[in-house]
């Protein structure tokens, strides 16, 4: 079973995962270090008690503070019990504190704890003086009641497995693996239908209250924009200074989401190929169709004769990983293509491992694959049958010849997971304007999604960044970064809606 979705890692879809190389290092540090011991707080007996709890902050990781937040497993049946949510704070040293700024890097499955750990690299010093930067691992993710379905060896096999079934035998194998994955998840995890992003948004409001903030100040990237959108719908009067960057449009169908993303990645590859042909070390032909054909040829050759553990799917993960960031990723992709033409797998494996969170010893640093697949199923229901998905795969191949065939079966595992009805997103007006950022060449969250979300959040402001890569804030564009900083620091609504 191959889940091709959108977070950095586990399936192309709406995820981020590609925060920065330095953040990956931080994530490893957090997973390998235990510097505080947290006792479980008293369990609340009603929802008001959850909101009234006090976080027991303890020093951790030198300059940070850690705590555990209790939230209901089931908001409709509080007697079901509690989940314990991991929270990390980078406390401000400034004298004039504006409150807390909660951050989420995307996913589903991305760790907000790891993201907040990189606070000094995410925001300028003025923001750090004004806000406590707070990250939490959403339920099911990282250190917060993690969903675990597969072992590291099983993850290796899954990531490397055939995500583009070309015949009935391969398609049947894909169905069997998909069903097996859900069975393993259900056998190894309790309360599996309680891990939705809708519930995570409700958790975030409890966190807001216990942090002492009257309104939520929030930075959500990629899939983190969906978390912010649901929060805005549930608690419109509690929205403070909210920025949603690399937006997800939650109103379009699963089919349209996957197809739009496949087209987005194809366009990003064409942009890469055009830039590549301005370089002396370019391994691709100049014509864009010929460049795609050359890449498809490489994928087919690897499928027929894998090199070491490099498979066809891992090559595609490597391409996707590089397309998230044109500045650092494109040079790596040129080198990887050059190498693989010489039957060398190393650089493509490095790119793929960066995408999936696999480290040199064969272990995975996150549970993003397992949690992402389950949360995706809970968040977005798909009424299509397996037969219809198979028919739709032809459209994917026609409109996105490189990535389309691999993304056509995105969400197939959900056919075997009996989920409750997903939350319907409706037009919402929040107490304060929401800032949405869309990058025109974003492969993972296409620009059209930002336009769609702009219509849903009716008093939002859309900043359109002309460029390549995933998300816009923190990429060095002064127009975007300056307006975001002014929004957080002075509550100035952005006036420049187009940045180049």
| pLDDT value of position 64 | 97
| pLDDT value of position 314 | 96
Question: How many domains does the chain fold into?
Answer: 1
| pLDDT value of position 5 | 37
Dmax over CA atoms of the chain, in Å, equals: 67
Euclidean distance between CA atoms 66 and 68, whole angstroms: 7
Euclidean distance between CA atoms 2 and 11, whole angstroms: 8
Q: pLDDT tens digits, the chain, 500 residues: what are they? A: 443 333 322 333 333 333 333 333 333 334 333 334 455 557 788 999 999 999 999 999 989 999 999 999 999 999 999 999 999 999 998 888 999 999 999 999 999 999 999 999 999 999 999 999 999 999 999 999 999 999 999 999 999 998 899 899 999 999 999 999 999 999 999 999 999 999 999 999 999 999 999 999 999 999 999 999 999 999 999 999 999 999 999 999 889 999 999 999 999 999 999 999 999 999 999 999 999 999 999 999 999 988 779 999 999 999 999 999 999 999 999 999 999 999 999 999 999 999 999 999 999 999 999 999 999 999 998 889 999 999 999 999 999 999 999 999 999 999 999 999 999 999 999 999 999 999 999 999 999 999 999 999 999 999 999 999 999 999 999 999 999 999 999 999 999 999 99
pTM of the full structure: 0.92
- Assign 218 to helix, strand or coil: strand
Q: Is the separation of the CB atoms in 271 and 463 below 8 Å?
A: no
Q: What is the DSSP letter of 120?
A: H
327 lies in some domain: no
487 lies in some domain: yes
440 lies in some domain: yes
Mention every residue, 6+ apart, whose C-beta is less than 8 A from residue 346: 339
Give the domain extent around 443: 45-147+194-251+429-499
Q: How far is CA 389 from CA 21, 283, 407, 408, 418, in A?
A: 36, 35, 11, 7, 18
Catalytic positions are 222, 442, 470
Q: How far is CA 58 from CA 27, 35, 68, 85, 101, in A?
A: 19, 9, 10, 15, 19
| pLDDT value of position 40 | 55
| DSSP string for residues in 74-104 | -TT-GGG-EEEEEEEEE----SS--EEEEEE
Closest CA to 195 of 291, 75, 87: 75
| pLDDT value of position 4 | 38
| DSSP string for residues in 352-406 | HHHHHTB-TTS-BS--HHHHHHHHHHHH------HHHHHHHHHHHHHH-TTTHHH
Beta bridge partners of 6: 14
| pLDDT value of position 159 | 94
371 lies in some domain: no
Peptide bond into 385 cis (omega under 30): no
| pLDDT value of position 28 | 36
178 lies in some domain: no
Q: Is the separation of the CB atoms in 192 and 147 below 8 Å?
A: yes
Closest CA to 227 of 195, 194, 199, 197: 197
274 lies in some domain: no
Mention every residue, 6+ apart, whose C-beta is less than 8 A from residue 23: 105, 114, 115, 117, 118, 121
Q: Is the separation of the CB atoms in 461 and 434 below 8 Å?
A: yes
| pLDDT value of position 308 | 78
| pLDDT value of position 88 | 98
97 lies in some domain: yes
360 lies in some domain: no
Q: Look up the CATH number of the domain holding residue 138.
A: 3.40.50.1820
* Beta strand pairing call for 498-499 and 99-104: unpaired
Euclidean distance between CA atoms 89 and 75, whole angstroms: 26
Closest CA to 272 of 298, 297, 290, 291: 291
| pLDDT value of position 8 | 27
Closest CA to 222 of 76, 439, 477, 387: 439
Segment holding 241, helix H or strand E? strand 239-245
* Beta strand pairing call for 131-136 and 216-221: unpaired
Mention every residue, 6+ apart, whose C-beta is less than 8 A from residue 210: 51, 53, 54, 55, 69
| pLDDT value of position 43 | 77
Segment holding 136, helix H or strand E? strand 131-136
């Amino acid at each position: 079973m191959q889940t091709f979705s959108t977070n950095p890692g586990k399936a192309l879809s709406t995820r981020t995962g590609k925060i920065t190389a330095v953040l990956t290092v931080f994530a490893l540090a957090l997973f390998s270090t235990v510097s505080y011991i947290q006792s479980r707080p008293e369990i609340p007996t009603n929802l008001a008690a959850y909101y009234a709890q006090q976080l027991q902050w303890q020093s951790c990781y030198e300059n940070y503070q850690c705590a555990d937040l209790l939230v209901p497993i089931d908001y409709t049946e509080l007697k079901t019990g509690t989940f314990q949510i991991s929270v990390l704070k980078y406390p401000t040293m400034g004298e004039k504190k504006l409150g807390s700024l909660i951050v989420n890097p995307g996913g589903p499955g991305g760790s907000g704890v790891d993201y907040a750990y990189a606070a000094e690299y995410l925001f300028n010093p003025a923001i750090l003086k004004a806000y406590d930067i707070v990250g939490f691992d959403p339920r099911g993710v990282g250190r917060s009641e993690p969903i675990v379905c597969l072992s590291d060896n099983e993850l290796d096999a899954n990531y490397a497995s055939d995500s583009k079934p070309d015949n009935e035998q391969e398609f049947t194998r894909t169905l069997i693996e998909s069903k097996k994955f859900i069975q393993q998840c259900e056998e190894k995890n309790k309360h599996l239908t309680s891990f939705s992003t809708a519930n995570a948004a409700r958790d975030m409001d409890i966190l807001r209250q216990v942090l002492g903030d009257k309104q939520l100040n929030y930075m959500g990237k990629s899939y983190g924009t969906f978390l912010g959108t649901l929060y805005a719908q549930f608690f419109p009067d509690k929205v403070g200074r909210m920025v949603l960057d690399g937006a997800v449009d939650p109103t379009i169908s699963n089919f349209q989401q996957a197809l739009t993303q496949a087209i987005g990645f194809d366009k990003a590859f064409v942009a890469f190929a055009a830039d590549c042909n301005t370089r002396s070390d370019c391994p691709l032909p100049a014509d864009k169709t010929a460049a795609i054909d050359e890449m498809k040829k490489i994928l087919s050759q690897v499928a027929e004769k894998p090199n070491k553990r490099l498979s066809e799917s891992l090559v595609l993960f490597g391409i996707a990983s590089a397309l998230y960031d044109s500045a650092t990723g494109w040079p790596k992709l040129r080198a990887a293509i050059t190498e693989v033409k010489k039957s060398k797998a190393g650089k493509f494996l490095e790119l793929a491992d960066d995408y999936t969170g696999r480290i040199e010893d064969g272990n995975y640093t996150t549970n993003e694959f397992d949690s992402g697949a389950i949360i995706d199923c809970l968040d977005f229901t798909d009424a299509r049958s397996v037969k219809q998905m198979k028919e739709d795969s032809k459209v994917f191949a026609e409109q996105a010849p490189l990535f389309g065939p691999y993304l056509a079966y995105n969400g197939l595992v959900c056919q075997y997971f009996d989920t409750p009805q997903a939350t319907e997103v409706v037009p919402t007006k929040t107490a304060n304007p929401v800032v949405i950022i869309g990058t025109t060449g974003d492969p993972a969250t296409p620009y059209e999604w930002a336009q769609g979300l702009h219509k849903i959040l009716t008093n939002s402001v859309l900043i359109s960044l002309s460029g390549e890569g995933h998300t816009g804030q923190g990429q060095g564009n002064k127009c975007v970064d300056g307006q975001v900083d002014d929004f957080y620091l002075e509550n100035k609504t952005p006036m420049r809606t187009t940045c180049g």
